[in-house]
Amino acid sequence: MLNQPAFDRFAERLRGFGPLGVLAFFVILAGNLLFVPLSALLVLAWARRSGTPWRELGFVRPPSWIRTVAIGLVFGIVLKLVMKAIVMPLLGAPPTNPAYRYLVGNTAALPVMLYLVIVGAGFGEETVFRGYLFERLGRLFRPGIWPKAMIVFLTAAFFGLVHYPHQGPAGVQQALIVGLVFGTIFAITRQIWMLMVAHAAFDLTAVAIIYFGWERRVAEALGL
């Protein structure tokens, strides 16, 4: 068993940006290559072992859980509809997403997709891209409005890039915009629960639109 001074030094190295801290950073980011949401679970393990307070990752108890969940659901659904019907058509995105056409009427694929949407995206991606990366970059940059804006942009850009392999350029565009929106909210509130709900609701709405065959209808609803 580690004595307290040794424990404290190890925790300090985990929080720092020396060899151990950098190694932990890349191990966490690579976690999802094994399974989803390993990266998020590693973030929680890192926070516990490094002595990082949960609030620094955005895990702050909201004044009202019901209000937080309700706002997250409405915000996520509306944001997805706005992205699908207005923003993405204006950017020239195709009305249907070829990467997920297999979901149309495919009930057998829903359990895995729901797991990925709720656990992998809602919990996993928010924990990593908002909670963890904001904490890490926040320790590198000086306090202030412009450094905070840079953190929002960098995390959103990274969030967009990781969507390229499965969704192509249109997926990058959508993820970048959503990352900017979610990142801005997190930078202001430093609370993650509403964003987790909103992220899950956003993706659940996307799955529903595809599953029921409404994708083209929604994308062309305003004739943009």
Is residue 98 included in any domain, yes or no? yes
Is residue 134 included in any domain, yes or no? yes
Query: What total of structural domains would you count in the chain?
Result: 2
What single-letter amino acid sits at 72?
A: G
Nearest to 97 by CA among 179, 174, 160, 176: 174
Looking at residues 87-116, what average pLDDT do you find?
Answer: 95
- For residues 209 and 167, state if they share a domain: yes
**What per-residue confidence (pLDDT) applies to 199?**
98
**What per-residue confidence (pLDDT) applies to 5?**
65
Q: What does the pLDDT look like over 18-72, one tens digit per residue?
A: 999 999 999 999 999 999 999 999 999 999 999 999 999 999 999 999 999 999 9
Is residue 17 included in any domain, yes or no? yes
> In angstroms, what CA-CA distances link 69 with 37, 65, 66, 171, 212?
21, 6, 5, 26, 25
Which range of residues forms the domain containing residue 42? Answer: 1-52
pTM of this structure: 0.94
Helix locations, the chain, DSSP H:
4-15, 19-30, 38-50, 65-82, 88-90, 110-115, 133-140, 145-161, 164-189, 193-211, 215-219
Looking at residues 173-194, what average pLDDT do you find?
Answer: 98
Q: How far apart, in whole angstroms, are the C-alpha atoms of residue 185 and residue 199?
A: 12
At residue 95, does pLDDT exceed 70? yes
**What per-residue confidence (pLDDT) applies to 142?**
85
